[in-house]
Amino acid sequence: MRRAAILVMIMVALVSALAPTLVVGDERKCLALYAPRPAYPSLPNGQRPAGKGVLVCHIDAKTGYVTSVSIAKSTGFAILDEAAVDCYKRWRFKPETCARDVKITFEFTTHGLPLI
């Protein structure tokens, strides 16, 4: 029960800031066991670009490990795309709960961040 409560808190935190949204191609529900948020990088001038993109996580169904990540739709900023790819490579899913390929929509936004 405690594990479920922690998982719910993690998911709420993910939804509230820079949150990915899982979109699964088939009827199975994909359960992320480890889902860190992406780092929000700055440009060399200190500004933080904003953008929305879509990644495809390729998952080993038996282990739940992400084997690779590809960009389906770029944010328009390579620095944001790279941060998202690096992050989602570390995600882990409950074995046998995901399709082989899972699309994840993500967004980097400065809403709510302090101005630099």
Coil, helix or strand for 112? coil
CA distance 73 to 46: 25
Least confident of 17-21, 66-70, 75-79: 17-21
All structural domains of the chain with their residue ranges? 2-108
pLDDT of residue 1: 52
pLDDT for position 13: 40
pLDDT of residue 23: 43
The yes-or-no verdict on residue 76 having pLDDT over 90 is yes
Q: Which of 91, 98, 89 has the alpha carbon at shortest distance from 71? A: 89
pLDDT in tens, 38-73: 999 988 888 899 999 999 999 999 999 999 999 999
Q: Please check the confidence at residue 25 and state whether its pLDDT lies above 70.
A: no
Asked if the model's pLDDT at residue 24 lies above 50, the reply is no
Tell me the fold of 2-108. TolA/TonB C-terminal domain (3.30.2420)
**C-alpha–C-alpha distance, residues 64 and 17, integer Å:** 24
The answer on pLDDT for 112 being more than 90 is no
Find the mean pLDDT for residues 70-99: 94
Query: How does strand 21-24 pair with strand 101-108?
Result: antiparallel
Q: How confident is the model at residue 110 (pLDDT cuts 50, 70, 90)?
A: confident
